[in-house]
């Protein structure tokens, strides 16, 4: 299976204590096909600048074969003391701020420049792409795209760009000698929790935002993919990042939760499920930024154009990375003109070309096969619902049963039925896999489509596919999704290295990728009013 997928020579770091003075092209690697329970890749925690094992390790199953291939620290709550001590040692003023250690802004501009240069090396780029494929299987093109987006982010913040993130402003005061200035101030000790689906991009972009603004983050990544974050940290250290600037905690979420309760980080960024996000919001007393569930919609306008391209984009949005993107197309509102033109048939044809051999469809890490097919059956109980395509398990594979494996699936639900209270919750349940709901609307029914968008609870990404500017503006004016693409090339999925990416409509909503996102999530406003005189004469003073 691995050889057929082109993964047989995928490099995966086996030695946790590498001599990082060597060029990355000389890093020791092993053939993943030879990894086993007796010869696994081994990860380590990072705390206070030191790489450390935990008392227990968890053997992770290969998501394609079920065989053990990575040993990850299974850190337990009784082992968190060093992490708590490390985070508590960070002052509220951070490791740097506009008035303290400003040279560190330049340091991180230099680190970013060096990391980008390393990631331009073909062997380093390929290393990370193959590593991503091994732990979160997706096509090589999708994995490589993740690496390149991350590299471009580092390029964006090389040189003086980190310093510019801390740019403030001044206002004149009331009298001579007084000036009011606004400053971007770090939180100090912070926490960062990221999911499995983008094991390099999300940790890298949010981690660097925290570091750029002067914070010390405690990083926790889903155990199934945390080896990627570990290798990123080793690369950052190789490129000049002080080893003690970040702590990495491998282990279950319960251990990270215990650490946070003890260490009390002053802010937390969480990307992941809505259920965990809401619990974190309570446990942190609201000191959290969230990028949680994304039931993302696409509305097709009445004007039909570039049918083949639009069908291709719909397929990419719904099924690339096996639908395991928080921006994946969850619900398609297709105008009847698109349906008559054959959009759904073209989507079905494209979906049928996806196969496990090249990982254009693959394991689903958070939904089982039974759960996804069970949800399809739940939808099929709605009057008028039907399977458009898919709806069956993948065959001829050795994916472990703990993971899901289903064909790219689309379930049609009539718009009027979807809006009924007894059906709406099922229709708008996010399935984090190759699964979408499709409905059809016609002239005069746009208010119903907008009602559906209004009633949804998550507002991450969306698309309005139309060249009709009046239609586009009307839909945009009456919806709230934080990242919304508009125009005939509109999509729901897109790389956030060149634009803001995040939800809207929730004051806890996080952002990623841009200077604005970094400032909002990883710094706060501090106003400093300087007032040096001259002091007025005593005769001018009066009681009030």
Q: List active site positions.
A: 291, 326
Residue 289's beta-bridge partner residues? 269
Tell me the CA distances in angstroms from 328 to 286, 486, 526, one per residue in order. Answer: 27, 16, 37
CB of 194 within 8 A of CB of 290? no
Decide: 320 and 286 in contact? Cβ < 8 Å.
Answer: no
Q: How far apart are CA 185 and CA 187, in angstroms?
A: 7
Q: How many residues would you count in the chain?
A: 544
Maximum distance among all alpha carbons in the chain?
A: 94
Is 296 strand, coil or helix? strand
Residue with tokens 């200035």: 181
Does residue 404 sit in helix, strand or coil?
strand
Q: Reduce the DSSP state of residue 217 to 3 states and report it.
A: strand
Token output for 154: 């580092």
**Tokens representing 201?**
């991009």
Tokens of 363: 């394991």
CA distance 87 to 105: 21
Apex 523 CA angle, 520 and 524, nearest 5: 90
The three-state (H, E, C) secondary structure of 398-427, written as one string: CCCCCCECECCEEEECCHHHHCCHHHHHHH
For residues 513 and 501, give the distance between their C-alpha atoms in angstroms, rounded to a whole number.
7
Q: Burial code of 151-161, b = ≥16 C-beta within 10 A, e = fewer?
A: bebbbebbeeb
Helix (H) or strand (E) run with residue 379 in it? helix 369-380
Any residues with CB less than 8 A from the CB of 330 and at least 6 apart, and which? Answer: 294, 295, 296, 297, 428, 430, 431, 436, 437
Environment class of 83 (CB within 10 Å of its CB; exposed 0-12, middle 13-18, buried 19+): buried
- Residue partners of 327: CB distance under 8 A and separation at least 6: 294, 296, 317, 460, 461, 483, 492, 493, 494, 501
C-alpha triplet 398, 403, 405: angle, nearest 5°: 65
The terminus-to-terminus CA distance of the chain in angstroms comes to 84
Beta-carbon contacts of 28 under 8 Å, excluding residues fewer than 6 positions away, are 13, 14, 15, 18
* Residue 387 backbone dihedrals phi, psi, to 5 degrees: -80, 125
Question: Burial of 118 by CB count in 10 Å (0-12 exposed, 13-18 middle, 19+ buried)?
Answer: buried
């Amino acid at each position: 299976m691995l050889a057929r997928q082109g993964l047989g020579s995928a490099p995966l770091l086996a030695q946790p204590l590498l001599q990082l003075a060597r060029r990355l092209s000389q890093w020791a690697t092993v053939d993943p096909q030879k990894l086993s329970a007796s010869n696994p890749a081994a990860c380590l925690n990072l705390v206070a600048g030191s790489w450390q094992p935990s008392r227990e390790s968890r053997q992770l199953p290969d998501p394609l074969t079920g065989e053990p291939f990575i040993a990850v620290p299974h850190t337990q709550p009784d082992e968190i003391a060093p992490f708590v001590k490390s985070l508590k040692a960070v002052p509220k003023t951070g490791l740097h701020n506009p008035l303290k250690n400003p040279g560190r802004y330049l340091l991180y501009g230099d680190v970013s420049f060096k990391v980008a240069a390393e990631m331009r090396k073909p062997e380093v780029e390929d290393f990370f792409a193959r590593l991503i494929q091994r732990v979160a299987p997706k096509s090589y093109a999708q994995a490589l795209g993740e690496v390149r987006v991350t590299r471009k982010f580092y390029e964006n913040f090389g040189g003086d760009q980190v310093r510019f993130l801390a740019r403030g402003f001044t206002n004149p005061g009331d009298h001579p000698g007084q000036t009011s200035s606004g400053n971007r101030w770090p939180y100090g000790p912070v926490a960062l929790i990221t999911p499995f689906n983008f094991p390099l991009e999300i940790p890298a972009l949010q981690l660097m935002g925290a570091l750029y603004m002067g914070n010390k983050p405690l990083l926790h990544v889903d155990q199934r993919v945390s080896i990627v974050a570990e290798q990123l940290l080793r690369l950052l250290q190789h490129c000049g990042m002080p080893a003690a600037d970040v702590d990495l905690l491998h282990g279950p979420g319960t251990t990270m939760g215990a650490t946070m309760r003890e260490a009390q980080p002053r802010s937390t960024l969480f990307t992941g499920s809505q259920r965990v996000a809401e619990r974190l919001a309570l446990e942190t007393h609201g000191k959290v930024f969230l990028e949680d569930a994304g039931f993302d919609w696409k509305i097709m306008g009445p004007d039909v154009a570039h049918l083949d391209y639009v069908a291709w984009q719909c397929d990419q949005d719904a099924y690339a990375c096996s639908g395991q993107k928080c921006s994946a197309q969850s619900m398609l509102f297709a105008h009847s003109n698109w349906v008559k033109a054959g959009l759904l048939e073209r989507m079905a044809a494209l979906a049928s070309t996806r196969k496990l051999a090249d990982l254009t469809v693959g394991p689903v890490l958070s939904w089982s096969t039974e759960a996804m097919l069970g949800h399809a059956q739940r939808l099929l109980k709605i009057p008028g619902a039907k399977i458009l395509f898919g709806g069956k398990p993948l065959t001829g594979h050795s994916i472990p049963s703990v993971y899901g494996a289903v064909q790219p699936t689309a379930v049609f639900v009539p718009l009027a039925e979807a809006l009924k209270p007894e059906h709406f919750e099922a229709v708008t349940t996010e399935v984090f896999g190759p699964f979408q709901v499709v409905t059809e609307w016609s002239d005069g029914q746009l208010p119903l489509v907008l009602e559906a968008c209004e009633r949804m609870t998550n507002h991450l990404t969306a698309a309005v596919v139309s060249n009709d500017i009046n239609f586009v503006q009307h839909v945009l004016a009456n919806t709230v999704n934080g990242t919304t693409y508009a125009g005939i090339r509109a999509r729901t999925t897109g790389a956030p290295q060149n634009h803001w990416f995040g939800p809207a409509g929730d004051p806890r909503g996080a952002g990623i990728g841009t200077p604005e996102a970094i400032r909002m999530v990883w710094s706060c406003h501090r106003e400093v009013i300087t007032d040096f005189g001259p002091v007025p004469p005593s005769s001018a003073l009066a009681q009030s």
